[in-house]
Amino acid sequence: MKKNILCLLFLAAIFTLSACGTGNKAPVPGTEQNPGASPIIYQNEQMGFSLEFPTSWEGKYSVETEVYISAADWSVEIFHTATREEMGAGWLFNIACTPGEDYTEDQPPVMAGWCPILAQTGGCTYYAFTPSGVEYDEDPASAAGKEYRELYDQIDIVISSFKLLD
């Protein structure tokens, strides 16, 4: 009888502990989406691509188009608006197109920062690249610095939404 009671208590403890881990997890700050909300679509007809930004980015970023990296390269720069206004910095990432399809993840067009290849088509390589240095206020009390870091932590989500236009 004593064994049965201990066995039941053991099983009850396991069920109780396993139920503790099934609750809703708090979202990562800055990644909350409104249920059913559509992402913010950015299209660049000249370069022929689109990106999707989370709705949590609304009003927090700006896009500079027709940025020339060199005579043959086109680029679009994405900035955190508040940091750009406060410090003249705030660069989050670029999407660029450069002639040639010889680039790989091991031999990217840009050597600094993160530089994933997004597409290679029509004699052109599309890629993203990020800063290799600090682009925000590092003061822990800085609201703009905190918001920049929240957006920066989601860059891979935005970049993974890259699509060539038809």
Write b or e for each residue in 111-137: b if 16 or more Cβ atoms lie within 10 A of its Cβ, otherwise e.
eeeebebbbeeeebbbbbbbbeeebbb
Could you tell me which of 113, 116, 125 has the C-alpha nearest to residue 158? 116
Q: Which residue would you say has higher pLDDT here, 32 or 26?
A: 32
pLDDT for residue 67? 64
Q: What is the pLDDT of residues 117-140, one digit of tens each?
A: 999 998 889 999 888 888 888 898
pLDDT grade for 82, boundaries at 50, 70 and 90 = very high
Domain segments of the chain as ranges:
38-164
Q: Tell me: the pLDDT tens digits for 32-70?
A: 445 568 999 999 998 899 999 999 999 999 999 866 666
Question: For the chain, what is the mean pLDDT?
Answer: 78
pLDDT given for residue 52 in this prediction: 97
Place of tokens 């029509």: 122
- pLDDT value of residue 23: 34
**Spatial distance between the Cα atoms of 84 and 16, rounded to a whole number of angstroms:** 50
Total-model pTM: 0.73
| Bigger pLDDT: 49 vs 114 | 49
Average pLDDT over residues 17-29: 35
pLDDT for position 72: 55
Residue 17 has what pLDDT?
Answer: 32
Residues of the chain with pLDDT > 70: what percent?
A: 73
Residue in the structure block whose two tokens are 């990106």: 51
What is the CA angle 42-57-49, rounded to 5? 20
CB 100 within 8 A of CB 125: yes
- Taking the C-alpha atoms of residue 83 and residue 81, their distance in angstroms, rounded to an integer, is 6
> Rg for the chain (alpha carbons), in Å?
23
Residues in the chain: 166
Residue 143 has pLDDT above 50, yes or no: yes
